[in-house]
Amino acid sequence: MKITEMTQSLILHFGEMGSKWGLNRTLGQMYALIVLTEEPLNADQISDALQISRSNVSMGLKELKSWNLIKLQHIQGDRKEYFTAPSDIWEIARTLVVERRKRELDPTLSMMRDVLLSEASNEADEYTQKRVKEMHDLMEMVTLWSNELQSMSSEKLSALLKLGEGISKILDVKDKLLSSK
């Protein structure tokens, strides 16, 4: 499998960004290769293309499957497993939001609920609970918002983001008008 220079630079970048996104470098590179390759890839092809061990690829594929970021595909007459990424970028984004929420927000919300249900024994704990309540309410709002986004079509999500951009510009104009008075 031949990787173009453009694809190679993106694979390297995704690898570097992987650690910032909560993934390791190899996982970021693997996902970039799968997303940027039109045809389904098997583990041997991924290993060869990225020059990484087959066992590392197997572990990475398991991780990407656990994140629901890749789809298993079989090719008739071939016993190997092939992998693709969803063709809809919005589907990938929605999946990432759900998976990150499950791994990061949900456990934090659960812990905050426990704190809010416990009895404050002094003023410091009362203050802590007040702050936790504020954070909890914000995180619940984000969770509800993300649930709404999950059920939207890709077209509606795109329109919503474009609408947000327009609203931001309108609010900037409003602020300028009010400050000039």
Determine how β-strand 71-74 pairs with β-strand 81-84: antiparallel
* Statement: residue 158 has pLDDT above 90: no
Q: Is 49 left (phi over 0), alpha (psi -120 to 50) or beta?
A: alpha
Q: What is the pLDDT of residue 35?
A: 97
- Please, what is the average pLDDT of the chain? 92
Q: What is the pLDDT of residue 64?
A: 96
Q: What is the pLDDT of residue 169?
A: 81
CATH dotted code for 5-84:
1.10.10.10
Q: What confidence category does residue 176 fall into, taking pLDDT thresholds of 50, 70 and 90?
A: confident
pTM: 0.78
Q: What confidence category does residue 54 fall into, taking pLDDT thresholds of 50, 70 and 90?
A: very high
First to last CA, the chain: 64
Q: Are 41 and 83 in contact (CB under 8 A)?
A: yes
Average pLDDT over residues 168-180: 82
- Tens digits of per-residue pLDDT, 12-42? 999 999 878 778 999 999 999 999 999 999 9
Percentages (nearest 5) of helix, strand, coil residues in the chain: 70, 5, 25
- Tens digits of per-residue pLDDT, 91-141? 998 998 888 889 889 999 999 999 999 999 999 999 999 999 999 999 999
**Of all residues in the chain, what percent carry a pLDDT higher than 70?**
99
**Of all residues in the chain, what percent carry a pLDDT higher than 90?**
69
Q: What confidence category does residue 160 fall into, taking pLDDT thresholds of 50, 70 and 90?
A: confident
Q: What is the pLDDT of residue 171?
A: 82
Q: What is the pLDDT of residue 123?
A: 97
